[in-house]
Structure 1
Amino acid sequence: MENKGISQPSNDSSRCIFFNANSDDYRCVVILTVKRATATFSLIGCLFMLFVVWLLRKYHSLAQKMILSLTVAAFFDSIAYVMGEDHSPGALCNFQAWWLTYFDWSALAWVCLITLNLYLNLVKEMRTDHYEIPYHVLAWGVPLLMSSLPLFGGYYGPAGPWCWITDAHVAWRFGIWYVPLFTLIFLMICCYARIICVANERMQSWFGTFNPERERRKVSLAEEIKPLKWYPSVYLLVSLFPLINRLHNAFYPHDPVFSLTLLHVLSAPLHGLANAFVFGLDRDTWSQLSLTGIQLALHSRLCDRTQIREYHPGAVRYMPADEAGFSDSDEDTNVLFFSPDMTLKDRGP
């Protein structure tokens, strides 16, 4: 959501409102072009993630469903950044601002809940399958509250390359988004630090006679905790430049810096997408996205219609092999393909 206005709006449609310059000023052209390119890239990336989830059937466990929900939130968040250019005050501008705030918050909520779920699973050793509905209530309900407060207060309006909370209500920008954002990022860093410590302690505590299954679990746990440090880091990196730019706008509202604004529009649309990639594309998923793995998965998805049905026996007539037309020279034409990239499919009745 973020990040959004850079100077007081103007009623002159030929003006570049976030630099108080002509609309053909090179700075305005660059900012709007970069904004469109970044938002479009984010949108395409989210579509790719949704395709991977569908292709590899990664929507069965609670963790997979949460990553799917995060990707959906990131997808709709990207649409908000693609919406139009400079909106004049009105219903459409307010709608874009509300949409942007809602799905920015929704993506953040899912990242926090994924972190909480991992903490409960690994540190507290709790099963969390029954938390699915409460997770959805929090992830879609809290953003509704946070995005509606500025709407009812009339604080939305033109705010630079997109609509958001106007320059006249800087306190609301920080209260609604930036203060909660960096508070939650700090809590996630603490949470992942605790998760990594607990995982390392458990790996070092496994002593005794050699046990292949225990060693396999030890190696698996070591691989799983390696990327944990990247989860909050990604959100921190894509939030840093918008925060710096917003702080500068708060102190110097009529003197925007082109470089900060450029870095702002480069990183702002990438919140949800970056986390969807980090959470969703683990080592196992990447290994299945080889050419062979994709071909097998597509064949399984689109062509395989094998079903197990109940067998009803009927009359059977036996005859000699030569009469039936079989001989020892007949070759077996059935070929069984195996690939480490292939994911087995559950077959229902």
Structure 2
Amino acid sequence: MLYDNITSSSGNNDHYIPTFNNEQIDQLDHIGYLLKYFHGICWGIPLISTLISLIAHAFGPVGSWCFIHDPTSVFRLLYYLPLVVVFFVNLCVFACIRWKISQHSNSIVSRVNIIVSFYLIAFALSQFPTVINSIQNFSEPSHPKFSLFAFQLLLQPLQGFFNCIVYGVNEGFISHYIEFFEKHLFRCRKSRELKQIEVEQERLIVDYDNSDEESQTTNMDQLIIDDYSIQ
């Protein structure tokens, strides 16, 4: 989960840097030189925090998952502190992106507003129950709340699904999967293409017949003209 959140933050920064440097909005995908830093941050921070917790033997069974077994342990800060920092960094990055692209296109601004709204909703649904449950466990370790554990168990695994909706769903994504389902599951696309071919063939036949009639009419008119010219 920590990797997912840091990934979202690093990805936003990868798009923010060229935007702030006045590069073209439609060329933001050409930022491959930042991938090494992207992977270093996204894998490095979770790896370091995990290794520290493993060395200290802090992991253990916690309800339905494996995590730092002591709810009052300072090692939990290695997870929750970067989580909170990433959340506010993302907010700052989105605000900077919105301010920068507002100078170019209002339509892009509206799309950024939608992404920010979805990101806040996704983070709130997937992470707030975890944070609240951890605070309650830290303050009252001997009195856990079943409802908080239930919400955490239900919503936290949906982080990847929410990220897919926020960052992955767009017109190209939707059209690609519509085409996939039509082609491989429902066969609707193939039948529609065949019908389109039949319609085009009929149209060609009709056009050909009309061209013959026009040419015959033209020949008849020419004969009439010739007759009048002979007279």
Aligned to 1:117: 14
Deviations 1:83-104 (A, max 9, x none): xxxxxxxxxxxxxxxxxxxxx2
Aligned partners of 1:245 and 1:264 also within 8 Å: yes
Aligned partners of 2:98 and 2:109 also within 8 Å: no
Offset at residue 129 of structure 1 (A): 1.9
Aligned to 1:158: 61
Deviations 1:122-181 (A, max 9, x none): 2223552212233223222322111111000111112121111012652211x1111210
Aligned partners of 1:250, 1:169: CA distance in 2, in Å? 5
Offset at residue 223 of structure 1 (A): 5.4
User: Is 1:274–2:162 an aligned residue pair?
Assistant: yes
Offset at residue 297 of structure 1 (A): 8.1
User: Is 1:143–2:46 an aligned residue pair?
Assistant: yes
Offset at residue 119 of structure 1 (A): 0.8
Q: TM-score, normalised by structure 2?
A: 0.69
Q: 1:199 aligns with which of 95, 98, 101?
A: 101
Aligned to 1:318: none
Evaluate the alpha carbon distance shift between residue 168 and residue 249 of structure 1 in structure 2; reply closer, same or farther with a 3 A threshold.
Answer: closer
Deviations 1:155-214 (A, max 9, x none): 1112121111012652211x11112101110111111012112222333xxxxxxxxxxx
SS of the residue 2:103 aligns to: helix
Aligned partners of 1:196 and 1:225 also within 8 Å: yes
Q: 1:131 aligns with which of 13, 17, 34?
A: 34
Aligned partners of 2:129 and 2:152 also within 8 Å: yes
Aligned to 2:124: 236
Aligned partners of 1:238 and 1:267 also within 8 Å: yes
- Aligned AA for 2:86? L
Aligned partners of 1:297, 1:190: CA distance in 2, in Å? 43
Aligned partners of 1:235 and 1:275 also within 8 Å: no
Aligned partners of 2:62 and 2:68 also within 8 Å: yes
Offset at residue 336 of structure 1 (A): 10
Calculate the aligned-residue CA RMSD, in Å: 2.9
Offset at residue 232 of structure 1 (A): 4.3
Aligned pairs (5 A) from 1:1-12: none
Aligned partners of 1:242, 1:144: CA distance in 2, in Å? 21
Aligned partners of 1:108 and 1:272 also within 8 Å: no
Aligned to 2:226: none
Aligned partners of 1:243, 1:222: CA distance in 2, in Å? 31
Q: TM-score, normalised by structure 1?
A: 0.47
How many residue pairs get aligned? The number is 185
Aligned partners of 1:156 and 1:163 also within 8 Å: yes
Q: Which structure 1 residue ranges, 5 or more long, are not aligned?
A: 1-103, 204-217, 299-333, 338-349
Q: 1:183 aligns with which of 85, 94, 98?
A: 85
Aligned partners of 2:58 and 2:70 also within 8 Å: no
SS of the residue 1:167 aligns to: coil
Aligned pairs (5 A) from 1:66-145: 104-126=1-23, 128-145=31-48
Aligned partners of 2:52, 2:46: CA distance in 1, in Å? 10
- Aligned AA for 2:114? P
SS of the residue 1:157 aligns to: strand
SS of the residue 1:201 aligns to: coil
Q: Which structure 2 residue ranges, 5 or more long, are not aligned?
A: 24-29, 186-195, 200-231
Aligned to 1:91: none
Aligned partners of 2:166, 2:176: CA distance in 1, in Å? 16
Aligned partners of 1:109 and 1:138 also within 8 Å: yes
- Aligned AA for 2:16? Y
Evaluate the alpha carbon distance shift between residue 144 and residue 129 of structure 1 in structure 2; reply closer, same or farther with a 3 A threshold.
Answer: same
Aligned partners of 2:51, 2:148: CA distance in 1, in Å? 28
- Aligned AA for 2:172? D
Aligned partners of 2:184, 2:13: CA distance in 1, in Å? 32
Aligned partners of 1:273, 1:147: CA distance in 2, in Å? 24
Aligned to 1:264: 152
